[in-house]
Amino acid sequence: MILYHGSDVIVEKPLYGYGKRNNDYGQGFYCSADIELAREWACKSLKGGFLNVYRFDTDGMNTLRLDERNVLEWIAVLLSNRTIRYSSPIEKRASEHIIKHYSIDLSPFDVVIGYRADDSYFSFARAFLSNTITVEQLSRALKLGNLGIQYFLNTPQAFEKLTFVESEPVFGEIYYPRKDAREEGAREQYYKLLEEDDSKGLYMSDLLKES
């Protein structure tokens, strides 16, 4: 399959053991199967960036589809990896509960496929932790706006299966506004979702009561 990595630099040889440890799923290499999303992700500003293209041999890869599992497991992975400044004691307690009861060990998996926790999706997750939305609403929110599914290469074996094909420049004046528009569209749909009554849904407070 073909994977894309949007960046501010050309990455011909991704190296195992490099990268930030506090990314969504931990230290590894993050890609997309969607070329337009990768172009948008390359543009952190109007300055633009680069689209890196790779062939990825999936044969023999142990893969976890995190986007097809309980959304609470996705949150637990994020909370276990990302650096978070909690806005309240309730949010901190909720985070500790989610990590304790829903954490997944990603180490056996060569590839993890799941939602990318950009600003909008991460804010949706924090709304659930703060008891603002139900778990059902969160699951629906993560499908709003087509903000993207990412491929996380997690093991040396996965890195060995990745072959660089080419890179191309991505123009920020085109793709940075597109990224903003996509996020804004997701937020607008989210606000409409909040107007719906979900009195029978499962809130964070309900999970805490069960513990």
pTM: 0.90
CB burial class (10 A; 0-12, 13-18, 19+) of residue 131?
middle
Residue (of 59, 49, 69, 53) closest to 7 by Cα position: 49
Neighbours of 119 (CB within 10 A): 11
What are the Cα distances from residue 105, in Å, to 25, 79, 89, 151? 11, 13, 26, 17
Question: What pLDDT was estimated at residue 166?
Answer: 98
Number of domains in the chain: 1
What is the amino acid identity at position 211?
S
pLDDT tens for the 211 residues of the chain, in order: 999 999 999 999 999 988 788 889 999 999 999 999 999 999 999 999 999 999 999 999 999 999 999 999 999 999 999 888 888 888 889 999 999 999 999 999 999 999 987 777 778 888 888 888 899 988 888 877 676 799 999 999 999 999 999 999 999 999 999 998 988 888 888 888 878 777 788 989 888 887 6
Per DSSP, what are the bridge partners of residue 52? 5, 167
Strand, coil or helix: 65: strand
Question: What pLDDT was estimated at residue 113?
Answer: 96
Which tokens hold the place of 101?
């009861």
Torsion of CA 170, 176, 178, 180, to 10 degrees: 150
Question: What pLDDT was estimated at residue 143?
Answer: 78
Residue range(s) defining the domain that contains residue 113: 2-210
Question: What pLDDT was estimated at residue 211?
Answer: 65
Kindly give the interhelix angle for 119-129 and 71-81, rounded to the nearest 10 degrees. Answer: 100
Question: What pLDDT was estimated at residue 140?
Answer: 84
Question: What pLDDT was estimated at residue 145?
Answer: 62
